Amino acid sequence: MSFPYEATLAWAQAQDAADPLRAFRDEFLIPPHDGRDGYYFCGNSLGLQPRAVRAAISVELDSWGELAVEGHFKSELPWLDYHEFVRDDLALVVGAKPAEVVAMNTLGVNLHLMMVSFYRPSAERHAILIEGGAFPTDRYAVESQIRFHGYDPASSLIELEGDEANGTISMQAIERTLAEHGSRIALVMLPGVQYRSGQVFDLKAIAELAHRHGCRVGFDLAHAVGNVPLQLHDSGADFAIWCSYKYLNAGPGAVAGAFVHERHANAALPRFAGWWGHDKSSRFQMGPQFVPIPGADGWQLSNPPILALVPLRVSLEIFRRAGMQRLREKSLKLTGYLDWLVRTQLADVLDIVTPSEPSRRGSQLSIRVSGGRERGRDLFEYLMQHGIVGDWREPDVIRISPAPLYNRYSDCIAFIEAVSRWHG
């Protein structure tokens, strides 16, 4: 993307003033530092709290106090159906049909539930493909599922290593791996955005390729949901899972989500059944036979945690008003500006790991510091002490994430100035 950047605070503040999404920043609580707003670049780890959350939770607390069990039916938003109140907005964010998504559990739980249905190994086809250096949630889950089915991860877990500079993975590497191992791969399980490098993957291309080789396909969207536009239905993926506490700003340990493509809506797939996944019209007849709700709702186990769903509902309403396309447009400019600043002002200090192509990255730059891990760790601590919050990922990466809902161009200038002071 061609954009006339300038490395001055005045230019950055002018962009902030002209930003059509600037008002959304005021809807979030910005952590303070030394009596002023700090610079928060950690929405890829934990999003900020929407100001409206406190009042929305108070509404449900009042309903609990005044209505008790009747809140399931008489609350302003009846608890019996509360998870449905996030469905349409969630579908918009991930590019799915409403019946294909459900808010439930946490990411790790949802991954295991999906693998019960979509990892069905056989003697001929028992391997799982993940990326090398996958986030531990994925790595531990797939290895344990392989062992649970009686196979050995030494032969049944295939890790796709990076073939590009800085360890990112080309589409050609995926093609080569599937050409070599596709006949024995039961499940391709890759991220939407790789957590350490910040690389965005082409979900549709991967799903089409894997399906041609007879593999099922699932995606971990923990770092993609609310970050980059997703078209899950059109991608053809069999399933996807994500957490909601990063870019979706739903709070620590927030209720997660899952996608199941509509072609599986009524499929007789094996699954771990639960009461809340049972057909709504007969759920309270308490019968012994499990009859799943068609679509993603049929994978629910338990009734939803109302107080935990409130922040997700509030945040998704913000996303609906902002619009994923407008957020992506700002993200491209904002992350592009930070990338340009690093490359033009600090090339001798910082090395960007994240792909330089805008289409292959979201609202995150993964950065290594010249001189190795210890200098990197020193810079990270310095930034934190000066109110610039990113995060550290071993062995040597600082992640800086300018989220378009609440970050500004002037925040990027503050980051560059702080690194320059540290470098001296």
Q: What percent of the chain has pLDDT over 70?
A: 99
Confidence (pLDDT) at 150 = 98
- For residue 225, give the DSSP letter: T
Look up tokens 């799915």; give the residue. Answer: 96
Q: Is residue 3 pLDDT above 90, yes or no? A: no
Cα separations (Å) of 184 from 15, 130, 156, 162, 187? 52, 14, 9, 21, 9
Confidence of residue 424 (pLDDT cuts 50, 70, 90): confident
In order, the DSSP letters of 4-48 are ----SHHHHHHHHHH-TTGGGGGGBPPPEETTEE-EE-BTTTSPP
Between CA 317 and CA 397 the distance in angstroms is: 33
Measured in whole angstroms, the distance separating CA 283 from the mean position of its chain's CA atoms is 32
Between CA 88 and CA 91 the distance in angstroms is: 5
Mean pLDDT of 249-270: 97
Strands of the sheet containing 391-393, edge to edge, are 350-352, 365-369, 397-400, 391-393
Task: Assess contact for 344 and 413: CB atoms under 8 A.
Answer: no
Measured distance between the N- and C-terminal CA atoms of the chain, rounded to whole angstroms: 31
Strands (DSSP E) contained in 334-385 are 350-352, 365-369
Instruction: Sketch the domain layout of the chain as residue ranges.
Output: 9-49+324-423, 58-320
158 has which bridge partners?
129
Reported as a single tens digit per residue, the pLDDT across 353-409 is 999 999 999 999 999 999 999 999 999 999 999 999 999 999 999 999 999 999 999
Question: pTM for the complete prediction?
Answer: 0.96
CATH class of 9-49+324-423: alpha beta
Mean pLDDT of 40-64: 98
Confidence of residue 4 (pLDDT cuts 50, 70, 90): confident
Q: Where are the alpha helices (H) located in 119-260, listed in sequence order? A: 136-148, 153-156, 171-181, 203-212, 232-235
Reported as a single tens digit per residue, the pLDDT across 56-86 is 999 999 999 999 999 999 999 999 999 999 9
Mean pLDDT of 121-128: 98
Confidence of residue 45 (pLDDT cuts 50, 70, 90): very high
Q: What is the mean pLDDT of the chain?
A: 97
Q: What percent of the chain has pLDDT over 90?
A: 98
Between CA 128 and CA 137 the distance in angstroms is: 15
Instruction: Give the CA-trace dihedral at 172, 175, 176, 182, to 10 degrees.
Output: 170
Between CA 86 and CA 84 the distance in angstroms is: 5
Confidence (pLDDT) at 1 = 43
In order, the DSSP letters of 65-111 are HHHGGGHHHHSSS-GGGGGGGGHHHHHHHHT--GGGEEE-S-HHHHH
Task: Assess contact for 245 and 251: CB atoms under 8 A.
Answer: yes
Query: 9-49+324-423 and 58-320 share one CATH topology?
Result: no
Task: Assess contact for 49 and 43: CB atoms under 8 A.
Answer: no
Q: What dotted CATH number matches 58-320?
A: 3.40.640.10
Mean pLDDT of 162-177: 96
Element (H, E) at 389: strand 388-389
